[in-house]
Every structure is written in structure tokens, then in C-alpha cells.
Amino acid sequence: MKKFLSCALALVMMLGCLSILSGCGKKEEWVVDENGLTELMIGGIGPLTGDYANYGLSVRNGAQIAVDEINAANPSGVDGFKLVLDFQDSQGKSDAATSAFGKLMDDGMKVSLGATLSGETEAVVAAGDSDGILMLTPSGSAVSAISGSKQAFRVCFSDPAQGKASADYIAQYGLATKVAVFYGSDNNYCVGLYETFAAECQVKGIEIVEVQTFTSSTSTDFSAQINKIAASGADLVFLPIYAAEAATFLTQAGDKLDGMKLFGCDGLDGILTKIDDTSRVDGLLMLTPFAADSTKANVQSFVAKYQEKYGTTPDQFAADAYDAVYTIVAAMKKAGITADNKDDFNKRLVAAMTEITVEGLTGTMTWTADGEPTKNAMAMEYQGGKAVLFDPTK
């Protein structure tokens, strides 16, 4: 009997401990701060260290500016909510991004900014769908990054949209009739841009006279490719690549490509931080939805706050992230979500995404059911160590 009672008591104690642990280990569904405001955690993921840290840092910083700005403008909360940003380092690796997403969910994330790079965004979208959470990536541009998801959207252009828009821009303003292309053949971002660019060039009557490629394992010496491009007779070199590889390309090219225009997309943003001799970047054109030197009041306010807080000029990744946070708030308001009426939070938020129009730093945006944004693009030109709005009429 004594043995039975001891075993029974042990079992009761064990079950009690398990109950306590499960209760203590689970974070409250919604956290209320000391001022009675319901915390709305927005989670973000991206490289804060490593070769692509400039992209992740820009996204994190731009989102933080928006969160701070919105909270300051709404001391009683946005319909009872206080925004909180938690941004995790992925180191640019898909597996680390997946782990970071799980941690954010454990910590109480309610809305996700997805991830910064396309590959890591694609890696976490399935988890977002499984958890029933809205995912709005500022910069995951590959079609595959959000395809197939009914809860994932993006603020940036998709790669195909950028490739097509680049060819259209070049044709519209007569920048070239003969083009050479240099891209990473093992990178989805580069390939997606190249394929739609090439298809649209054919439609617009632009001749692609030379195509040169590289891979991640051959990204340190581009001399052979540069020589072939220099001899191609091209008017313009299209560079659908990232800033680090573009810096290597321009440094090694020296004056071999003099007389040829250079044109790239959003992956080039941040190139001034990747190259030792910034004069090599002069004349480089970059398709973008954001110009830091715009005279628009909202842009100048953002730029001033960003420079004060981070000591540098924001790029389009920062602007896209800023717009993403404001888009989340716009969707909440459209859905009628408040701290006292937050049932089916993400279901209502997702439904509202196709019903809103957002006047952002990166343009006037609407979204289709497949998560794609509609907005206009422009081009920036690097001159004298900074990017300025390009005037194609000059």
C-alpha cells in the first residue's frame, strides 16, 4: 500500500510539473504592456552579418524607423496596438532563416516581414502558411519566394517584373540597341531577371550581342568575361547581379568598358559600401522604385530620420521595409482590427491586402491575390559617390 501511494503521489507530482511547465513555457497569445496597449510583434529575418549584411541591415533599419514613427504618432496605440519589431539574423542562409522564423513564432510574432533574400524567404513561406500568418517581404523578389502561398505578399518588384521593366526603360529612352549581359547562372535572382529581360528585349527590338555568366564558385575573377563584353560592340551592359559581384566586376573592368552604359536592378543597391574606388561606379544606372534625393516631403522626412539614427542614407531596401510596416497598419485598419476585436487576425489581414492602396516611399501600391504589387519604377544614376535620380531626357 505504501509503495502504491508513493507511486501514485509521484505520478500526480509529475503530471502537475508537466502542467506547470507547459503553462509557464507558453507565451501569452497577446502581450499587454504596462500602459495597457496590446503588443503587435512584427517579425523580420535577414542577414545582419556576412557578405549580404547591407541588405538585411537596411530592411531592419527601415522597418524600425516606421515602427518608431507610428508608435510616436499614436501614444494611445494604433486602435489599441503598440508595434514591436523583432528582427533576427539569418546570415543569408535558408536553414538559419527557418530557425529564426520558429523562434519568432515562439516569441509571439503576429505578422511577418518574411525574409530579406529570395532564397530564405522561400524557405520560410511554407512555415508561415502552416502557422496561418501574413507574410509581407520587403525584398524577396524571386517569383518562387512567395508563389503558391495565399498568405504571402511582397513590397518589391518581382525579378521578372524588374527584368521586363529594365528592357522597357532602355527601349523607351533609347539608351541602347545592342546589349551585353553578365549574370550569375546559379542564382535564382540573376536568372529570373535575365530571362524576362531577354524576352522583352526581343519584343522591343533590342539585340543581345553577348551573354557572359559566372557561378558562386567562380565569382572572384571576371577578366575573361569582361574582355568578351568589351569586344562585343554593345552599347550597354545589363548587370542583373548583387552589389558584391558588381563591385568586383567594375573594379576588374577598369576602363575596358568605357563608352558602354551600365544598367542593373535592385541587387546593386549598397554597391558603394562594397567597392574601394567609388569612381568606378560613376555612370552606373539602377532601376529602382525609390530615390533618396526626391523632393517629396515623405521621402525627405524618412531620409532625415534615417540619417540621424543610422548615420547613412537609406536605400530602396530600407524604403521597402518602411512601406511594409505602413502596409500592415493599412491592412489592419481596412479589416477593422482593433485590440478589442482581433478574432481571425491574420485571416482578416490577408483578405484586406487586396483591398488597400498605400501611398508609400516607393510609390502608390496595390496588391493582387498572388501577392504581387503594382507600382512604377524609375532609374538612379551613381555620380560622385551617391545615387541621384536619372534624367533620361538629358
Same domain, 151 and 165: no
Condensed to tens digits (0 to 9), the pLDDT of residues 61-70 reads 999 999 999 9
Query: So what's the pLDDT on residue 93?
Result: 93
The average confidence (pLDDT) of the chain is 91
- Supply the pLDDT for residue 266: 86
Say whether both 216 and 147 belong to one domain.
no
Amino acid at 43: G
Question: How many Å apart are CA 60 and CA 56, to the nearest integer?
Answer: 6
pLDDT digits (tens, 9 = 90+) for 112-132: 999 999 899 999 999 999 999
Is 128 part of any domain?
yes
Number of H helices, E strands in the chain: 12, 15
**112 backbone dihedrals φ, ψ, rounded to 5°:** -115, 135
Please indicate, yes or no, whether residues 279 and 304 belong to a single structural domain of this protein.
Answer: no
Whether residue 200 sits in one domain with residue 141:
no
In one-letter notation, the amino acid at residue 177 is T
**CA–CA distance, 254 with 262 (Å, rounded to integer):** 13
Domain assignment present for 198: yes
CATH number at residue 100: 3.40.50.2300
Are 214 and 253 within one domain? yes
pLDDT of residue 133: 95
pLDDT for position 11: 39
Q: What is the DSSP string of 120-158?
A: HHHHHHHHHHHHT--EEESS--SHHHHTT-SSEEESSPP
Residues 108 and 200 in one domain: no
> Strand runs (DSSP E) across the chain, as ranges?
38-46, 81-89, 111-115, 135-137, 152-154, 178-184, 207-214, 236-239, 261-264, 284-288, 358-360, 363-367, 373-374, 378-383, 386-389
User: Is the CB of residue 188 less than 8 Å from the CB of residue 145?
Assistant: no
The answer to whether residue 393 sits within a structural domain is no
* Cβ atoms 221, 252 nearer than 8 A: yes
Phi, psi of 180 (to 5 degrees): -110, 150
Buried b / exposed e across 128-166, counting CB within 10 Å, b at 16+? beebebbbbbbbbbbbbbbeebebbbbbbbbbbbbbbbb
**Span 227-243, pLDDT tens digits:** 999 999 999 999 999 99
Same domain, yes or no: 97 and 130: yes
Total domain count, the chain = 2
pLDDT confidence of residue 105: 96
User: 200: which DSSP letter?
Assistant: H
| Distance between CA atoms of residues 139 and 320, nearest Å | 7
**pLDDT reading at 18 higher than 50:** no
- Is the pLDDT at 377 greater than 60? The verdict is yes
Is the sign of the CA dihedral 261, 267, 269, 275 positive or negative? negative
Contact 324, 336 (CB under 8 A): no
Can you tell me the mean pLDDT for 68-80?
97
Does residue 3 sit within a domain? no
Where among 258, 288, 318 does a domain terminate? 288
- pLDDT confidence of 79, banded at 50, 70, 90? very high
The pLDDT value recorded for residue 7 is: 43
Those residues whose C-beta lies under 8 Å from the C-beta of residue 349, and which sit 6 or more positions away, are: 111, 134, 328, 331, 332, 335, 337
CA distances from 114 to 46, 298, 333 (A): 9, 25, 21
> Are 75 and 139 part of one and the same domain?
yes
| 44 contacts 88 by C-beta, under 8 angstroms | yes
Neighbouring C-alpha atoms within 13 Å toward the C-beta of 21: 6
- Our measurement of the distance from residue 326's CA atom to the centroid of its chain's CA atoms, rounded to an integer in Å, reads 15
134 shares its domain with 166: no
Specify if 300 maps to a domain: yes
Q: Answer yes or no: do 152 and 54 share one domain.
A: yes
Which percentage of the chain shows pLDDT scores above 90? 80
In a domain? residue 392: no
Q: Which residue has the cell 499614436?
A: 74
Helix (H, G, I), strand (E, B) or coil at 75: coil
- Residue 108 confidence class, pLDDT cut points 50, 70, 90: very high
Residue 46 shares a structural domain with residue 78:
yes
Q: Is 382 domain-assigned?
A: no
- 208 lies in which domain range? 160-288
Q: Rounded to an integer, what distance in angstroms lies between the CA atom of residue 271 and that of residue 289?
A: 17
Same domain for 243 and 166, yes or no, is yes
Q: State which of 268, 288, 308 marks the end of a domain.
A: 288
For range 369-394, the mean pLDDT: 88
The neighbour count for residue 22, using CB atoms within 10 Å, is: 9
Final residue before a domain boundary, out of 250, 272, 288: 288
Decide the pairing of beta strands 373-374 and 363-367: antiparallel
Across 335-354, average pLDDT: 96
Q: In one letter, which amino acid is 365?
A: M
pLDDT score, position 189: 86
In a domain, residue 22? The reply is no
Average pLDDT, integer, range 308-324? 96
